[in-house]
Structure 1
Amino acid sequence: MLNYQRYKKFPIFHYPERSWMDKEITKAPVWCSVDLRDGNQALVEPMSVEEKIEFFNMLVKLGFKEIEVGFPAASQIEYDFLRNLIERRLIPDDVTVQVLVQCRESLLERTFQCLRGLGRAIVHIYNSTSVLQRDVVFGKSREEITDIALTGTELVKRYAKDFDGEIRLEYSPESFTGTEMDYARDICNAVIEAWDAGEGRKIIINLPSTVELHTPNVYADQIEYMSRNLSRRKHVILSVHPHNDRGEGVAATELALLAGADRVEGTLFGNGERTGNVDILTIAYNMFSHGIDPRLELGNVREIQEVYERCTKMNVPPRHPYAGKLVFTAFSGSHQDAINKGVQMMTERRSPYWEVPYLPIDPADIGREYEPIVRINSQSGKGGVAFVLGSQFGYKLPKAMQREFADYIQRLSEQQGEVSPEQIFDVFRAVYIEAKEPIHFKNVRITDTDNGDDTYTSLVNVSYLNHGVMKSFSGAGNGPIDAVQAGLDQELGIEVKVLDYSEHALTSGSGAKAVSYIHLLDEKSGRTSYGVGISSNITRSSIRAFFSAVNRMFYQEETEKAGRQRVEESKGAGSASSLYSAL
């Protein structure tokens, strides 16, 4: 049994005055990427200068206006990276770089040396304020910890006086979530006063969830309390920097925005120490899914993922929100059926809004259009199979036919596992379209006779092969299909009835083809069967569908064997031989 008694909660901050739970997110915050500092320091193999430059360029392309580029006083590679950005003029005029530095003079001096040549920068100082760190790491009192923060603030002010550009101070009480709120308030207010925040001299107060200690609602209470109790609030940019130790970073950030946060520091795909930083992409796409402009250019998540994985040597998990390989894929039969119906209904209603069950956004809107939404395995159902045939191959199967065809794919998936769209179509061709034996329709002549009462009688003469022997028959009816039915019934000694018929265009333009679906009933046995026909001539496609259904109803074994052979021949000898073992 887990020894849960080794652990205890950090005291919960009680804040009954909270009002954040009645609010909604209506706009994007100021985004600050910390991929190149916080994210980079957590990599097994940190990025090289050139990899960091490529990553920086991507962040700029995505629309980030604030980017933390590193800790230039900590290592030569960090220093060289920022100097490369400055000297190669890679920082656009509307982008502000941010540097992290501890509250020590030697480090601040080197940091400002690295910043020379910039017109604007954010200098981010920090020191840990939590009960635990004050006790076991620093062994210092509240007052001594506050002195560290104020010393750092005064040093930044002094170096900023001799700096040619504009310096904005950012202060973080590191391990904020483990700090008593009255002390977090006091140390932040002391820094605000020491910086003399005012008009044209704003300060960023960054409140990090350095280690997640509570549920997201507690973090929101802490943020709202601080927002209400910071001095010179209108001159303060309240920032949050959540981590993900409890797997709640996104939720904590969204609640923090409700509670008054103006700015979010995070990383792409949540890279960072331990379980990572908050994932900016997920928050931004969440806003997008609610019709809010995320103020980032995120229309191609695949491209973002490619650069991220190459530069960081990290992989995006297949179930990662929005970017994961499988997040827009349904295997469940009921899910597939709902998606299929949702897409059809949205098309029929011509709705300007995306409303499809199980898909909060259209995958195509973020560059995922080339990936299958529905993938077929043994858990799938008729709706999923129908969706694949419709979305990828243009066949809109009648509802009753979906179940009949899905049974073939179910048997195949139970043998081999996942069934690809190409395999599904190959089976569909073999079972229905190529069901041309042993009675093979060849040609038809149709004559319509006016009955004089605004009705017509169709007379047909049909040529066909019966087990390879050319034959013909004639028939009459109130239309070509009715006439073919009458003639074939007499020719073969059968009694069939048309239960349903539908058709639609497969392609557009001068070479357009039509597909016909026909549902027949054998009135002697009560059995039913579907047939499918394709032709550029709608009458020929309907007659081919009729012959397909008759072959499948009365000559099933011969028909399926011939269908498999036709598909195999078209794909290359033997290439599809194992595909139909379950049929």
Structure 2
Amino acid sequence: MARKIWVFDTTLRDGEQVPGAKLNQFEKLEVAQQLKKLGVDIIEAGFPASSTGDFHAVKEIAEKVGNTNDIMITALARAVKSDIDAVYNSVKHAEKPLIHMVLGTSDIHVEKKFGKSKNQILDIGVEAVKYAKSLLPDVQYSTEDASRSDFEYLWKTIEAVVKAGATMINVPDTVGYAEPEEFGNLICRLNDRLKNLNDQVLLSVHCHNDLGMATANTLAAIKNGADKVECTINGIGERAGNAALEEVVMAMNTRSTLYNAYTNINTQEIMNTSRLVSSFMGLDVQVNKAITGENAFAHSSGIHQDGLLKSRDAYEIISPIEVGLDDMELVLTARSGRHAVKNALEKLGFDTFTDLQFEEIFSGFLAMADEKKEVYNHDLYIIVENFFNENNLSNQAGMSENFFELMDLQVINNTRPSASVTMKKGDQIFEASAVGFSPIDALYSAIMKVCQIDAQLTEYNISCISRGTEEVGKVKIQVEFREEKYTAKATDADMMKASALAMINAINNIVVDHLVPVR
């Protein structure tokens, strides 16, 4: 029978320790509400002894998110009375509060960090658990730096704090030192002893990613008896981060027969949670990151696209729909093969070309792909129209008259930013100007005046590549139109031009879907 694995999310505590990622009280509450929707079992809402603001944020989360029996709210304390009091007074408002405390067990921590003997540290831990237990029934004890601790001393500590009343034992690989086989063996040995001591106590792990093995170590722990895993969204956290919740959960789901375990996570909320955390913390997700990276379900290789179109499981072990995305994305680039281009054309209604005609169109596609990097549906219309015109084929021209093209732009950034654009649609030339609260706002307002399409900008990302005095800007945007989302990109040495081209790509995609009839 499959075991339930508890999911403890520490995005709002360990994740927030990333430099520059500090959240305000409103943002912490929003993330906590999304974590509840995601289905985590425990939210570690902060470190209330660290500041008055953090105390109040934890208290509000306990009151407004922890107001039901389906989730526990906790916060971190050192093994000192004042910290434990701060946790208790902030989380006690939840239906299911938990006190979480941490104290080192490795020689490095005991001797160099604390400057005390092992017996002194053990006694401090036991007394702290006894005190916390007098306040709340649920207490978690974390043996910091467990993976570098002497095993018998580590077990002696665990045995003592369990007898003192701890209901959860957390075994951290605090500095990401462990490797999967070694860590799995440690958890196996601890689990065997702990279940013989008290089988009601949950055994938990908290793995860091300094050597890139946090997820692997966490999964090894599950295989060897861990009852609970501590993770963060997108794997954020101190230094190289923590085990990524989405990676651990989807590995268990995808390889369910291997792990024989499950979680209560609603996987379709994974992407919503990832984007919310990334947006609030200002931490971009690595594009090729597993599960939540921009390219995790995007395919541009012609070989892969061909295989996917023949059978999804050829190159896709997880459906993007499972994690809250739309269906798979076949990105048309110069590396795309004939199968992917033909498939995209057929979706637009172009399915009657002979093999020779298609080869000519494909050549036009490759030429545009080399120039534009990424080819969109409206580009395909233009490629096809050029083919029709060059071959004097009647009744097929005129599609490009629906699309917008940038001719010129001017952006002035002063106390009241302004922008003017000149754009072309078919044979018509349009000019418009606008002011805004920022140069981009002014630029996009001017473009919208020309296009007359009520699309709302929901995401704007910019990156810059510099080589000496040369600089190339890459812009990615997302807009919403009639409750549908459209993503587009553009690259140019002029950042404002790249921004304008990205918006026009998005607008033209909307035109394809809503204003151009399929043949």
Partner of 1:298: 267
Q: Does the CA contact (< 8 Å) of 1:430 and 1:567 recur in 2?
A: no
Q: Does the CA contact (< 8 Å) of 2:62 and 2:93 recur in 1?
A: yes
Q: Which of 61, 68, 74 is the matching residue for 1:92? A: 68
Q: Which of 63, 79, 87 is the matching residue for 1:103? A: 79
Q: Which of 45, 58, 75 is the matching residue for 1:82? A: 58
Percent identical: 24
Q: Which of 4, 22, 32 is the matching residue for 1:46? A: 22
Deviations 1:529-548 (A, max 9, x none): xxxxxxxxxxxxxxxxxxxx
Secondary structure, in 3 states, of the residue corresponding to 1:235?
A: coil
- Structure 1 residues 421, 365: CA separation in 2 closer, same or farther (over 3 Å shift)? farther
Q: Give distance in 2, aligned partners of 1:87 and 1:373.
A: 41
**Residues matched between the structures, number:** 403
Partner of 1:204: 168
Partner of 1:393: 348
Alignment of 1:333-412 (within 5 A): 333-342=302-311, 355-369=312-326, 373-390=329-346, 392-393=347-348, 405-412=361-368
1:258: Cα distance to partner?
0.3
Q: Give distance in 1, aligned partners of 2:363 and 2:4.
A: 48
Partner of 2:209: 244
Secondary structure, in 3 states, of the residue corresponding to 1:278?
A: coil
Which letter does structure 2 place at the counterpart of 1:411?
Answer: A
Q: Does the CA contact (< 8 Å) of 2:147 and 2:183 recur in 1?
A: yes
Q: Does the CA contact (< 8 Å) of 1:43 and 1:312 recur in 2?
A: no
Alignment of 1:489-568 (within 5 A): 557-559=390-392, 566-568=398-400
- Structure 1 residues 89, 143: CA separation in 2 closer, same or farther (over 3 Å shift)? closer
Q: What TM-score comes out, normalization by structure 1 length?
A: 0.63
Which letter does structure 2 place at the counterpart of 1:208?
Answer: P
Is the radius of gyration larger for structure 1 or structure 2? Answer: 1
Which letter does structure 1 place at the counterpart of 2:309?
Answer: N
1:107: Cα distance to partner?
2.5
Secondary structure, in 3 states, of the residue corresponding to 2:313?
A: coil
- Structure 1 residues 88, 173: CA separation in 2 closer, same or farther (over 3 Å shift)? closer
Q: Give distance in 2, aligned partners of 1:52 and 1:90.
A: 13
Q: Which of 89, 96, 99 is the matching residue for 1:113? A: 89
1:30: Cα distance to partner?
0.5
Secondary structure, in 3 states, of the residue corresponding to 1:84?
A: helix
Alignment of 1:406-555 (within 5 A): 406-431=362-387, 434=388
1:275: Cα distance to partner?
0.9
Q: Give distance in 1, aligned partners of 2:336 and 2:305.
A: 7
Moved over 6 A (4+): none
Partner of 2:98: 122
Q: Give distance in 2, aligned partners of 1:398 and 1:356.
A: 29
Deviations 1:223-276 (A, max 9, x none): 111111225241220101111111111111111100110101111111110111
Alignment of 1:307-322 (within 5 A): 307-322=276-291
- Structure 1 residues 319, 394: CA separation in 2 closer, same or farther (over 3 Å shift)? farther
1:376: Cα distance to partner?
1.8
Partner of 2:144: 174
Which letter does structure 2 place at the counterpart of 1:409?
Answer: F
Q: What TM-score comes out, normalization by structure 2 length?
A: 0.71
Q: Does the CA contact (< 8 Å) of 2:7 and 2:263 recur in 1?
A: no
Q: Give distance in 1, aligned partners of 2:274 and 2:181.
A: 31
Partner of 1:186: 156
- Structure 1 residues 570, 65: CA separation in 2 closer, same or farther (over 3 Å shift)? closer
Q: Does the CA contact (< 8 Å) of 2:233 and 2:246 recur in 1?
A: yes
Which letter does structure 1 place at the counterpart of 2:230?
Answer: E
Deviations 1:11-46 (A, max 9, x none): xxxxxxxxxxxxxx9555101111111112224141
1:396: Cα distance to partner?
5.5
Q: Does the CA contact (< 8 Å) of 1:430 and 1:566 recur in 2?
A: no
Q: Give distance in 2, aligned partners of 1:119 and 1:91.
A: 5
Q: Which of 220, 223, 231 is the matching residue for 2:184? A: 220
1:368: Cα distance to partner?
2.1
1:58: Cα distance to partner?
0.8
Q: Give distance in 1, aligned partners of 2:354 and 2:240.
A: 47
Structure 1 range deviating more: 418-427 or 263-272: 418-427
Alignment of 1:12-91 (within 5 A): 26-87=2-63, 91=67
Deviations 1:316-367 (A, max 9, x none): 222122222222112211111111111xxxxxxxxxxxx4222222223333
Gaps of 5+ in 1: 1-24, 161-165, 198-202, 343-354, 436-556
1:278: Cα distance to partner?
0.8
Q: Which of 261, 286, 294 is the matching residue for 1:325? A: 294
Q: Does the CA contact (< 8 Å) of 1:239 and 1:261 recur in 2?
A: yes
Partner of 2:236: 271
What is the Cα-based RMSD across aligned positions, in Å?
2.9
- Structure 1 residues 214, 120: CA separation in 2 closer, same or farther (over 3 Å shift)? closer
Alignment partner of 1:260 is 2:225 = yes
Partner of 2:111: 135
Which letter does structure 2 place at the counterpart of 1:192?
Answer: V
Gaps of 5+ in 2: 404-424, 430-504, 506-519
